[in-house]
A and B are shown apart, each in its own frame.
Chain A
Amino acid sequence: MAMQVLANLLIGLLWVFFQDDWSVLTFFSGYLFGLFVIFILRRFLPTKFYLFTLHAVFRLILLFITEIIVSSIVVISIIIRPKMNIKPGIFSMETTLKGDVEVTLLALLITLTPGSVVVEISEDNKIFYIHTMDIPDLSNSVLKSKDRFENAIKKVTRS
């Protein structure tokens, strides 16, 4: 991805040289042209076209924001209940993600989602130990959102 952005910037700079017009607007049109060139050549590049990756990143952020709002409402409704009958506990969850970046990203997202904290990750990066406030309800919702997070993360990191 980094190489593609660099190539795109280079094409934009070349465009400025060819036009001999040193303005931001010229550079921008050159950048768009470079985007078009890379889009045409995308099948011959080793990695995915980087706008697709950016799109996946954007989708991940959107998913994350909806998730954080939904689970915040759940947690707040638990907190302001007059009689708080919660069943907290630690449950284990397996993940199919591999590599430091993917596992870190998933742990970050799960920890940011209210009602669940990753307490420990096993040595082989396979099992997450997650503490939740209410085992029956929230562990199911964590498992569900985990699948969605995993798919979104895979779209970002794997080409």
Chain B
Amino acid sequence: MNAITIIELGIAIIILIGTIVGFFSVIGFLRLPDVYNRAHALSKSAALGVLFVLVGTFLFFLFIEGYFSIKLFLGIFFVFLTSPVSSHIICRTAYRSNVPLAEISVRDDLKEAIFVDKEINN
């Protein structure tokens, strides 16, 4: 059990955590009731999963191959930059095209706001 083995084991654990997070996000995608809740499970946990997997890959290249890959950090950066925009747009489009919230929903502040807006415009 030398140093390289220990480092490899740590990296494997980090990447495994990333995959498990991605797996949970798929479970959430299947179990949650409506489009808004699914957006949480899918895009967010996927972001954390991507973070772990790419950091693990970065550490692998740094310690095992001896190669500092800034490209992987750019990958994390762009995933974090684009995934919230897409989930925001999906939720907003869904709401604007009258996709109903799940029946278990307890609160909807936006309905009043949009409704009042339309009243004023008319």
The interface of chain A, by Cβ under 8 A from chain B, is 65, 68-69, 72, 75-76, 79-80, 84, 86-92, 107-108, 111-120, 122-123, 127, 129, 131-133, 135
Interface of B is mostly: helix
Count the A-B residue pairs with Cβ separation under 8 angstroms: how many? 118
Q: Are A117 and B106 in contact (CB under 8 A)?
A: no
Would you give the shortest CB distance from B84 to chain A, in whole angstroms? 4
Given A79-B41, A89-B101, A112-B80, A68 contacting B47 (CB threshold 8 A): yes
Q: Are A86 and B104 in contact (CB under 8 A)?
A: yes
Q: Are B41 and A88 in contact (CB under 8 A)?
A: no
Q: Are B45 and A114 in contact (CB under 8 A)?
A: yes
Stretch from B4-12, B56-64, B107-115 contacting the other chain:
B107-115
Contact partners of A72 in chain B: CB under 8 A? 21, 44-45, 48
Q: Complex Cα distance A29/B39, Å? A: 49
Q: Are A117 and B109 in contact (CB under 8 A)?
A: no
- Interface residue total, chain B, C-beta cutoff 8 A: 42
In-complex Cβ contact of A117 among B47, B48, B91, B104 (8 A): B91
Q: Complex Cα distance A87/B88, Å? A: 20
Contact partners of A91 in chain B: CB under 8 A? 107, 109
B102 lies within 8 A of chain A by Cβ: yes
In-complex Cβ contact of A115 among B40, B91, B111, B113 (8 A): B40
Q: Are B113 and A129 in contact (CB under 8 A)?
A: yes
Q: Complex Cα distance A131/B31, Å? A: 18
